[in-house]
Every structure is written in C-alpha cells, then in structure tokens.
Amino acid sequence: MTEPARTRPLDERHPDERDAPPDPDEVAAFAFHVWGFRQGEVVSLMIHLGDRLGLYRALAGAGPRTAGEVAAATGLHERWLLEWLRGQAAAGLLRSDDGSSFELTPAGAAVLADEEGSLAFAAGAFGGPPLPSIVAGLVEAFRTGRGMAYDHLGEAGTHTMARQLAPWSRLALVPVVLPALDGVVERLEAGARVADIGCGAGVALTALAQAFPRSTFAGFDLSRHAIERARAGVEAAGVANVELHHARAEDLPAGAGYDLVLALDCLHDMTRPDAALAAVRSAVADDGTLLVKEIRSTGDWRRDQRNPMLAMMYGFSVQTCMSSALSEPGGAGLGTLGLPPEVLRRLCEEAGFSRMVTHDVDDPANLYHEVRP
C-alpha cells in the first residue's frame, strides 16, 4: 500500500499558510500517492487476468519459468505473457531477478492460486473493470440518494462474491467458527433446522449441508442472480438437504423454530436490517442461535483508521454495500462498516433478543456474533 503524503493537520497551520502556494515537494509526494491508486487499479486488472487465464495455477509449484515455458504450458502467446509476467514482478507478486525468469513463491501461490486449500486465497476477489452502466448508476445515486440493488451488478457480481466466500466456507465456517458457538455443532450433527438469510450463491449452505447431512437448510436471498447460481451449485454438489427461496429476510416464516439462523456478512447490506432481525426472532426457536458475521469496525473514526484496508472498505460500501442498503425508499444505508458490535447489539435487543457474545477467531476482516433469544 502506498504511504500517504505527509502533511501537517489543518488545525496546526497558520491561516496565512493555508492560502500560500503549496510546497512543491508536498505536491510531488501527494501526486505520487494518488498515482499509487491508479497503479493499484491497473494491477488489479492484471490479477484478474492472471486468475481468469489460469496463469497463477500454471506457475504454482513450478519453480522459475520463462514466458516461453509458461506459453508452452498454457497455450497462450509468449509476447503477451512476457509483458504480464514483468508487470507482476514489478508489482512484487512474482519473483524475478532478470526480467526473463519468473517464480510464484509458496506464499504467493496460497494467495493467488490455491482456491481449494488456502483460507488466504484472494485472486477470486479481483473482477474486471465495472461496467459503464454500474458507474453511471453510482453517479446517479449520488444525485438522487437512491442506490442499486445487488442484481444491478449482474451475474459477474454474484460470481465474484461467491468466490470470495467459498474458501472461508470450506476452511473456516465448519471447523473454526461453528465450534465456538455453544452447543451448535452437536445440534447440527443430531439434525437441526437451519436458515441462511442473504445466502447469496449458497456456498456456505452447501458446505454446511455436506458437513451435516442429518440437518436441513433453507436459503433466502433477494437477488435472482444469486439464487440461480445457488441452485446450480447445490445441484452440482449433489446435496438433497437444501432448499432455496427467492425471498427477503423479512419473509422468514414466523414460528418455524429454526435451531440456527445465519446472517453472514449481509445485514449491513439490507435496507431494513431491523425488520430482518425481527423476522429472525419470530422464526428462530426459543433455544436457537443467530450467527452474525460482520466486518470488523468500532464506529470510532480514529480507531478504525488503524485498519490498513479502510479505504477499500469504504469503496466497497459506495459500490455495493451502502448502495444496496439505500436501494429502496427509507433504506437504513448502514454500509460495509455500519454494524460495529454495539450497534448490532442494540438492533438485536430491539428485535427481541436478549444475549450477544462476540467471538474473535483471528479472522482479520470479520467478527462473529452469537445471538440468543
């Protein structure tokens, strides 16, 4: 990450100093800082191409390789590969001493190539540039205050979200997160009723259905694209204990007696998280559990500034999370960072829940909240 240009706080400057021409060195440093973001945008596209073309997988465990050797392994054109490889080495993503031979280190492979076995896998989060229609929609949102629902992002948005969630669903949800909850694993093993609100493409549901075949799982999502992808994924996995509903969280059936309800990184995206939580309270059993996964935030600007990814989080919020949360009149508009623990606790209490325990399982991006009636 590019270091921000060093400037003195505004309140430490004399009024005359604020009106003076900017210091040339300060301008140069600030320009470098800004162009660092442009470089990040370009490298992001290159990561997407590397993932989409299978280049990281071709390089993983292969040792140093020339562009010609990568071309032979992938069937792609050598000249294009050489330019891409040099760019990746310049970005510090590949190792190269001479600009002719390139290596993906084991750490790099865990982040860029190992989608099945690495919780650190990140390449799937890098999509292509947003469609002009999406950018135009955001411009209009700034003018009107009305955001875009997730389906406006198209199928590509659903695909990217699913790939971001899939490694966590396979490698952390079942073996790490669920055991932290009081008695939940035992109930799932015996046979429980589970609902997932905002289930997206169903990757968490599928992982759970495979791990706990005696339990039954119901997924609810407002996105038509997400439910279609979820149905395809459930069918491909061959699990018979999952049912999917193109419906809102508020449509959970009252009195259903769910033993476990999941709200995984979705409450802050909803226009009415209060109504969603009230519906969950009506649908969960009196001895059931609500598991809420939410982005780490404190609600305190100075403390949250310690997060080195804070700018990215706010960018995600404008592009997707807050946009979705303001996509209907009267939307809450919480956004990516809008549910720190104390805000979530208050909403849960207002919905009729009585207890909330927050679990920190060494996930750098998220906290997990165990909520009980």
**What pLDDT is stored for residue 11 in this prediction?**
55
**What pLDDT is stored for residue 8 in this prediction?**
54
Beta pairing class for 366-372 and 284-295: antiparallel
pLDDT band at 161 (very low <50, low <70, confident <90, very high): confident
**Is the pLDDT confidence value at 6 over 60?**
no
**Is the pLDDT confidence value at 128 over 80?**
no
Tokens of 22: 């900017």
pTM: 0.85
> Mean pLDDT in the chain?
92
Write the pLDDT tens digit of every residue in 310-342: 989 999 899 899 999 999 999 999 999 999 999
Beta carbons within 10 angstroms of residue 144's beta carbon = 9
Provide mean pLDDT across the span 278-286.
98
Taken in order of first residue, the domains within the chain and their CATH numbers are: 10-118 (1.10.10.10), 132-372 (3.40.50.150)
* Alpha carbon distance 129, 160 (integer Å): 12
Residue 359, phi then psi, degrees to nearest 5: -110, 130
Write the pLDDT tens digit of every residue in 264-274: 999 999 999 99
Beta carbons within 10 angstroms of residue 354's beta carbon = 9
**Is the pLDDT confidence value at 2 over 50?**
no
**What pLDDT is stored for residue 17 in this prediction?**
61
